Structures are given as C-alpha cells and as structure tokens.
Amino acid sequence: MVGNIEVMNHKAYANGSVHHHNGCEEKLNELRSLLGKADGDPLRIVGVGAGAWGSVFAALLQDSYGQYRDKVQIRIWRRSGRAVDRATAEHLFEVINSREDVLRRLIRRCAYLKYVEARLGDRTLYADEILRDGFCLNMIDTPLCPLKVVTNLQEAVWDADIVVNGLPSTETREVFEEISKYWKERLTVPIIISLAKGIEAALHPVPHIVTPTEMIYRATGVPMENILYLGGPNIASEIYNKEYANARICGAEKWRKPLAKFLRQPHFIVWDNSDLVTHEVMGGLKNVYAIGAGMVAALTNESATSKSVYFAHCTSEMIFITHLLTEDPEKLAGPLLADTYVTLLKGRNAWYGQMLAKGGLSLDMGDSISGKGMIQGVSAVGAFYELLSQSSLNVPLRGESKPVAPVELCPILKTLYKILITREQAAKDILQALRDENMNDPRERIEIAQTHAFYMPSLLGQPLNS
C-alpha cells in the first residue's frame, strides 16, 4: 500500500527527475491570490540570465509548477548569438548519449540530429538553442528539463509578475537599467528575486558597498520591499540532481515568507530572514576567499593540513569583516561558514584559483571563463580591498599608536588583490601570506574584532546613527 501511495505522489519527468506534486498547486494558488491574479491570467515568472544557478532555478520552478500551464508561465531570458564551440559540442554529444532519458527526449522532440551534426562539425549550436532543450552552457554535464527561452528582453520582462535575477553582479546594473525602460507604463510593481553574489565599491559621499539588490532598486525604482535576495551554500548541479540543500530568502516580510513557502521543495529547503543586505554581502565575500583556497589546494598538492591552515586564516578575516558590517555578526556565523565551506569545496571561484596556480588559466583571459561563466570573486576582491583600505575607516589596535585601515588586518585579502588586480605578485605568493612568521594567530584577529566596537553602518549605506 505504501508503494502505491509513493507512486501516486510522484511524477517522473522526461529528464529523469522525480517531482513531488503534493501541495504544489495549493502553493501556486496561494501565491496567485496574494498577487491578485484572476482566473485565466497566468502568474508570469521570468529568469533574467542563464548561468548555472539562474538556469537551475528556472528549471526547478518548471519541474514543480510547469504542469499548471493555465496558472503559471515560466520563462528564461538569455542573450542570443553565443555560439557553442566544437569541443563543447562534442562533450555535449557524449553527455546526451550517456543518458537514455535525455536521448529519448531529444529524439521525441526531433532535436537529436542537430547534436549529431554539431558533433561532426557540420553545424553551429547556440547557447539559447540548447537551453530550450535543457542544456546550460555553463553546466553541460547536468541536463535540465526543457525551458521556454526568450532572447528579446522586452518581451521577457514587460508583463512579468516575478523576475529572478540570475545575472552576475557585474552585469546587473546595465541590464536592469534597460529593463526599467520597459516598465515605465506598468500599473503593477513586480517582485524581484536576486540570486547575484557580488558587490561594487562606492567611495562617495562615504565609502560604502553597493549590492545587486541596491543596483536593481537604483535602476528600476521598484520599492525595496519588492526586491529580495536568495542565497545559500548551493552548488547548482547538485541541487538539480536532488542533493539536499538549503537557502535563505532575505528581504521584507511582505514577500519573503510567502516566497519561501512557494520555493520550498523536499530537497531544497528555503528559510527566510529579514537581513537582506548583510546576507547578500556575505554571499559575495566568501567568493573572495574561495579563489585563494583553490590556489592553496593546487600549490600544496591538495594538502589537507595546508588547506586547514588557510581555512583558519581566511575565516578569521571574514569574521573580522563581518564585525565591520553588522551589529549582530553572530547571527551570520552559521550561514557564512556553510556557504564558505561549500564554495571552497566545489565552486567555480575555487576552481579558478586552482587553474591559475596550475597555469591552466592566465589572468589575461579575464574573469568570464567559457564553460564556467563569470568568476565573481575577482571583482569582489577589488571592491572589498578598495573599501577596506580607505583611511576614513581606520580602526584602533592595541599596542599601536595610530589607527590602521581595516585591510591591514586582512593579509589574505591584500595578497589576493596584488595577485588578481594589480598583478604585482604571482599565485604562489598566496602561501607566503600563510607562512609569514610575523603573522598573528588567527584567534587574535577574532578577539580584536569581538572586543572592539568596529561596526560601521556607513559601509552598508546606513546612517551613522542607525
């Protein structure tokens, strides 16, 4: 009897995933009601940007709610014209033929032949074309469900109820400034969920951090209560393969609680939190130190001892920076460490650091890498260094006659800046940041942060008296 119930409560999809459909329609109806959607008017959800996490996010929604076509419409926008190179096309063909479910799906859709032709070099595939068949260019090894892809940005967003920002932080401002042109005549305000992890540094009128949600607000004028951030210790491919994961959706209570319920799945638990900005900034900070972790792993032949030394030092720097950014840093300890841990283990930023140290990549190749997408940690290194080196943020230290800039307590950040941004040093020099005999025990940095009132609300754009 239990087996029969299990069969009834699951639906097998063509991509091989299994979908728990109990409760999905009720959650969809509840969100539609909150948004005031009338019968016959579908809830329109569009993902903007089709990197790995953006594509997986859209695919998760499609798997959960795509069957209710009269109630919800799920689409994803990506730029057209990005060609798939021959080597990637060959690898994609191997992936297709290794998965019987995917192979059968493409044959049913009369789409298999074009992958044969691409494998032979007789045809060029495009990123938006393969995404329609369920393949993300930055995550070829993990086939997704087929997606509705729109390459015209105006068509994608003009009537969207929920927009999911899957763009890198470095592209968010530009794209949402364009989107704002299409929303001038709107009568309703959309909800925006940003997945972007990264920051910009602004030095005027005082040094402060600009986050992707702030970029979206400035570009569109959408009220901040309608802009949320979702992040967590997530590897996109593993989430789509139903590995257990969790995330937090952060923002105003009006939308974060109903959206957390709507997005929650048996394998993907979504909690909610009011502290949008600090969680968002922390999501960008861990990418900084992930690059260094990759370098250390490559340079020490994956020495567990060396990696643990690096982890001790980098987490102490992150704890110190957290004390600058928030009045209650203890609340972030768990999420920050969890997100850092998974990013150091298996993230694109750690991979990038490894490849730089091994000589498989060079800095001249830029921070947008074929098959991986944007390496967000590079711009974040520059932004955090620029901010924390400002003399207006100087902090007092025991035993020092003069206050020092916060970056002076962050030797790993300083070294990464000299490697990645000014290029004064080579990747191998990251080890010197750990082996310096003058370096203090990382415990001392944490004690300094905990015993001094270093909190600087101005860093997050908040008034000094907040």
Q: Which residues are catalytic?
A: 286
Q: At what angle do helices 333-346 and 348-358 cross, to 10 degrees?
A: 40
Note whether 193 and 164 are within 8 A (CB): yes
Q: Which of 276, 238, 268, 259 is nearest to 164 (CA)?
A: 259
Is the four-CA dihedral 444, 450, 453, 454 of positive or negative sign? positive
CA distance 115 to 136: 14
Residue 217, φ and ψ in degrees, nearest 5:
-60, -45
Dump the DSSP string for 375-435.
-HHHHHHHHHHHHHT-GGG-B--TT-SS-B-GGGG-HHHHHHHHHHTS--S-GGGHHHHHH
Q: Three-class SS of residue 231?
A: strand
Burial zone of 453 (CB within 10 Å; 0-12 exposed, 13-18 middle, 19+ buried): exposed
Burial zone of 447 (CB within 10 Å; 0-12 exposed, 13-18 middle, 19+ buried): middle
Tokens of 99: 């998965």
Dump the DSSP string for 255-302.
HHHHHHHHH-BTTEEEEEES-HHHHHHHHHHHHHHHHHHHHHHHHTTS
Dump the DSSP string for 101-135.
HHHHHHHHTT-HHHHHHHHTTS---BHHHHHHTT-
> In Å, what is the CA distance from 74 to each residue of 61, 284, 329?
7, 27, 37
Alpha helices in 183-275 (DSSP H): 212-220, 236-240, 253-263
Q: Which of 214, 340, 211 is nearest to 281 (CA)?
A: 211
Distance from chain centroid for Cα 84: 23
Residue 192, φ and ψ in degrees, nearest 5:
-120, 125
Q: How many helices (H) and strands (E) does the chain have?
A: 20, 14
Q: Three-class SS of residue 315?
A: helix
> In Å, what is the CA distance from 342 to each residue of 120, 122, 130, 246, 347?
38, 40, 28, 12, 7
Note whether 167 and 54 are within 8 A (CB): yes
Tokens of 404: 């020092």
